[in-house]
A and B are shown apart, each in its own frame.
Chain A
Amino acid sequence: MTRTLLLPAWSLVVRELVRFVRQPARVVGIIASPILFWFVIGSGLGDSFQLPTAPPSIQYLEYFFPGTIVLIILFTSIFASISIIEDRREGFLQGVLVAPIPRSALVLGKVTGVALLAVIQGFLFLIAAPFILTNISLSIILKTTIILFLIALGLAGLGFALAWRMDSTQGFHAIMNLFLIPLWLLSGSLFPQAGAAGWISALMTINPLTYGVAAVRSILYDFQGDYTKDMPDFILCILITIGFAGLMFVLSLLAARQREQGTRLVELSNAQGGR
């Protein structure tokens, strides 16, 4: 198993990391916008924001912090996983497809590599946590990083499954705006579920990302205080986050297993001649 699954997957992980290091501009561009959102929305909303379940002492910059990290994870893992489209267009992918490795090694390598990239970038923002939040310790930062990795695995898998069949990144922008951004908006990153309208609250309940954000929030606040009131159970959050990652892995695998199949010929004579 090591030689047929883990070694090739590891090879693809290393490739992602090396590419990442060689293109530093990519990094800055992607994590800059969530930080800008955080700073502008957080400062702008400032005192206007009030948690329905807590005293007005909580600043929005503080509330929005976990959501911002998750946005960084979302952006980085999605943008990195759609590079599978580039891999295909530039040719690299075809070499992997004809190698004697199971498709699971391909998916595992790509998704894990991408999730690592996302976590590295999330971690860079997490270092700022002690300046924003109280009670931050090294252990909290490490635990948060682990949860971020689980979230990133799921999102990277989602990106992979969506991007596999596409031949250009053009079509991906619509998916990003209409599906992925709402996924994040309705995850409890921007506003708490408790104060939301009924149908929004219902959408948030079925959104798997809600549980990832809740897990990050619970850990970052060390399960204490007004911030984490009315949150789903932590164990449930972890299980759903892992389950989502697993489901996305399976979907990616099913997509990657498809081999181009020539159209079945019922009657050869019906078909047109070649070009």
Chain B
Amino acid sequence: MHLSPAVSINKLSFAYKNRLALQEVTIEVNQGEIFGLLGPNGSGKTTLFRILSTMALPSRGQASIFGYDVGNDSEYVRRSIGVVFQSFALDKKLRVRENLFRHGQLYGLTGSLLRSRIESVLRSLGIWERKEELVETLSGGLQRRVEIAKGLLHQPKLLLMDEPSTGLDPGARIELWRILSQLRNEQKTTILLTTHILEEAERCDRLSIMDRGRVIVTGTPQQLKKSIGGDIVSVVPFDPERLTKGIRRTFKLTPKLVDGILHIEKKNGHAFLPKLVQKFPNQIRSVTVGKPTLEDVFIKYTGHAFGGAELK
């Protein structure tokens, strides 16, 4: 059975004044998958998130959710999405339970149905015991769970999440992914999330890599990594230019220089490594060989490093 796409984005552009934040973005998200938008800060993913969550209208192009246009049919779109914001949409002066109660009423839920939904969603996120606490007294990780609980309360078919693991420690991050997988498997919820964390992107069913407002490549993490021919040999040279020339001449390979490191795509990298070191014994400070990562994919398609210090 072929399902219509959960999200369909077609040649979407968005400009703030005359700065283009999104350029001709085209993405399709299938129902029931966890789809990631991976990109460094400023790549346009939050702008895209704002358009999909009906908060902003595009300059050009279309985006639709379950066939409904995010601009013209925002009423339908809003009914079918749950939104988890990077900066929590919680009232910190309210208790956890009160936040969910207020939110549920915005979605037309009342009475015992609302109360039982609140209980089940808080239990599944493991914060039922904290229901009477003021949100401002909770840790960032727990506030994140309340925000997710809020996004799930009305049982949306599509969950939109902007940088969901911001501020989570590694343990909480693993827990978040357990919850997301459970949602997809048990409720068949489609999940679209933005992230700048490479390990997080690895866990998505499919992802689009974004850079400077464009979608560079889309696929499963495995497909994307397979697009690199073999292993990645990373060399820290003393003189990048000299070594680049040397490698090009000797091995007929074209290293990519990114942040002072030469990246070389090579099948059987472990066999290549000793040859390289023997050929240029005095030009190499250090060298590693590894299977391609999404960061290597990013570098391959953009020619520059993934981003700033926050990635490490």
Q: Are B102 and A14 in contact (CB under 8 A)?
A: yes
B72-93: CB near A (< 8 Å → 1, else 0) gives 0001001101010101111111
Q: Indicate whether A275 reaches chain B with its CB closer than 8 angstroms.
A: yes
What are 17 A-B pairs at a CB distance below 8 A? A15-B94, A91-B88, A94-B89, A95-B83, A95-B106, A97-B55, A99-B78, A100-B78, A100-B108, A259-B56, A262-B15, A262-B58, A263-B18, A265-B20, A271-B19, A272-B18, A273-B213
Q: Indicate whether A197 reaches chain B with its CB closer than 8 angstroms.
A: no
Chain B contacts for A90, CB-based, 8 A: 87, 92
Q: Are B15 and A265 in contact (CB under 8 A)?
A: yes
Q: Are A275 and B53 in contact (CB under 8 A)?
A: no
Q: Indicate whether A173 reaches chain B with its CB closer than 8 angstroms.
A: no
- Bound state CA distance, A101 and B59, in angstroms? 24
- Bound state CA distance, A225 and B87, in angstroms? 58
Given contacts A95-B103, A272-B20, 14 further A-B contacts (CB under 8 A): A3-B108, A4-B108, A7-B110, A15-B94, A18-B93, A18-B98, A95-B85, A259-B55, A260-B56, A262-B14, A263-B59, A265-B15, A268-B23, A273-B212
Stretch touching chain A among B42-50, B188-196, B199-207, B218-226: B42-50
Q: Are A10 and B98 in contact (CB under 8 A)?
A: no
- Within the complex, the shortest CB–CB distance from A131 to chain B, in Å, comes to 35
Interface size class on chain B is 35 or more
- Within the complex, the shortest CB–CB distance from A15 to chain B, in Å, comes to 5
Interface size class on chain A is 35 or more
Contact residue among B13, B53, B103 (Cβ-Cβ distance under 8 Å from A262) = B13
Closest to A102 in B: B75
In chain B, positions 135-189 with a C-beta closer than 8 Å to chain A are: 150
- Bound state CA distance, A36 and B60, in angstroms? 56
Q: Are A260 and B55 in contact (CB under 8 A)?
A: yes
Q: Are A263 and B17 in contact (CB under 8 A)?
A: yes
Q: Indicate whether B286 reaches chain A with its CB closer than 8 angstroms.
A: no
Q: Indicate whether B254 reaches chain A with its CB closer than 8 angstroms.
A: no
Chain A contacts for B43, CB-based, 8 A: 274
Chain A contacts for B23, CB-based, 8 A: 268, 273-274
Q: Indicate whether B57 reaches chain A with its CB closer than 8 angstroms.
A: yes
Q: Are B85 and A91 in contact (CB under 8 A)?
A: yes
Chain A contacts for B107, CB-based, 8 A: 99-100
In chain A, positions 146-182 with a C-beta closer than 8 Å to chain B are: none
Chain A contacts for B90, CB-based, 8 A: 91-92, 95
Q: Are A18 and B94 in contact (CB under 8 A)?
A: yes
Closest to B84 in A: A95
Chain B contacts for A268, CB-based, 8 A: 13, 20, 23, 60
- Bound state CA distance, A3 and B104, in angstroms? 11
Chain A contacts for B54, CB-based, 8 A: 97-98, 259
Chain A contacts for B108, CB-based, 8 A: 3-4, 7-8, 100
- Within the complex, the shortest CB–CB distance from B133 to chain A, in Å, comes to 13
Closest to B20 in A: A271
Q: Are A261 and B57 in contact (CB under 8 A)?
A: yes
Chain B contacts for A97, CB-based, 8 A: 54-55
- Within the complex, the shortest CB–CB distance from B91 to chain A, in Å, comes to 5
Chain A contacts for B75, CB-based, 8 A: 100
Chain B contacts for A95, CB-based, 8 A: 83, 85, 89-90, 103, 106, 150
Q: Indicate whether B21 reaches chain A with its CB closer than 8 angstroms.
A: yes
Chain B contacts for A3, CB-based, 8 A: 108
Q: Indicate whether B251 reaches chain A with its CB closer than 8 angstroms.
A: no
Q: Indicate whether B122 reaches chain A with its CB closer than 8 angstroms.
A: no
Closest to B51 in A: A262
* Given known A268-B13, A270-B18, A274-B20, contact A11–B93 (CB-CB < 8 A): no
Chain A contacts for B233, CB-based, 8 A: none
